[in-house]
Amino acid sequence: MDVLLYNPLSRNGKNPKFIDKIVKHIEKEGRTVRVWNILKIGSVDAFITKLNADDRVIIVGGDGTLNRLVNVIHGLSFTQDLDMYQAGTGNDFMRSLNTTDHVVSIKPFIIRVPQIQFNQQKRLFLNGAGIGLDGYIARLINQAKGKKSRFNYFKNTLKGFVLFKPMKMKFKVDGVAYEDEKVWLASVMNSPYFGGGMKIAPDANRNDDELHLVLVRKISKFMLFLIFPTIYSGNHVKFKKWIKIYRGKHFELEFEKETYMQIDGDDEYPIKQIKVDAYEDKK
């Protein structure tokens, strides 16, 4: 049996016809399907224990839906297959897997995931987490009226360029201390993409043991506007005067003032410092 978990707060989760379409597609394969609203599952542990060993769990949603689920089920004894149906707006997680399949097995990719600490909280993330401009843009996008789309990502990114002010930052990479000025964003990436297809860390790979810290710093708003389109292809890294990339397993970041943060597209505020560890292993 297939257990379909959907998020009614996501764009496609609000569309019953879209969910019905997925159910019919699976039923054509000769499988039985049960549909669950992910927000109505009280105890995930209890829910999982009621499943049969040969059941397949399919998540319908995007990066935000997957992030929330991973933070709940990580470390639980989960023997069933876990797949994801591409249905979100950003889909940076699925994009990093470089697949065109609608249903993809994701269980291997959620066993070893990075952990971020902030404001006495701990969270796991799949794609990336950062403070500064990317956090501010995430706030603008999440609070914007209307549906999320690539156009809205682009529009709010430009708005962020205009309104955000870069700051001084202190940081450590595997214990080595650094400082930098006029930092626009500092993103710790587990895979190449964030922001609905921006290839901010071209060489990052979720199968590696290291994360990539991408800094955009000491650049004028005008030049940032000019090189912005190159982020989608990953060619922005050629502008080494303004783009710095550090690799490591442990990161400590501290801005001089409170600012915004994003974790797989979900925004948090106020944030002044974060700690990131490469992998939280629980099997």
pLDDT value at 20 more than 70: yes
Q: How many whole angstroms separate alpha carbon 3 and alpha carbon 51?
A: 9
**Among 66-75, 89-98, 185-194, the range of highest mean pLDDT:** 185-194
**Spatial CB neighbours of 146, under 8 Å, sequence gap ≥ 6:** 152
For CATH 2.60.200.40, list the domain ranges present in the chain: 115-281
What stretch of H or E contains 87?
none
Residue located via tokens 């049960």 = 34
pLDDT of residue 283: 41
Mean pLDDT of the chain: 89
pLDDT of residue 11: 65
DSSP characters for 106-172?
A: -GGGSSEEEEEEETTEEEE-SSEEEEEHHHHHHHHHHHSSS---HHHHHHHHHHHHHH---EEEEEE
pLDDT of residue 146: 66
Q: How many whole angstroms separate alpha carbon 150 and alpha carbon 196?
A: 7
pLDDT of residue 148: 66
Q: Encoding tokens for residue 236?
A: 């922005």
Band (68; pLDDT cuts 50, 70, 90): confident
CA 251 to each of CA 111, 240, 280: distance values in angstroms, whole numbers, following the listed order: 21, 21, 14
**Domain 115-281 belongs to what topology?**
Tumour Suppressor Smad4 (2.60.200)
pLDDT of residue 282: 42
Q: Span 121-128, mean pLDDT?
A: 96
Q: Encoding tokens for residue 199?
A: 């290839």
pLDDT of residue 158: 86
For CATH 3.40.50.10330, list the domain ranges present in the chain: 2-110
The arrangement of secondary structure in 2-110, i.e. its CATH architecture, is 3-Layer(aba) Sandwich (3.40)
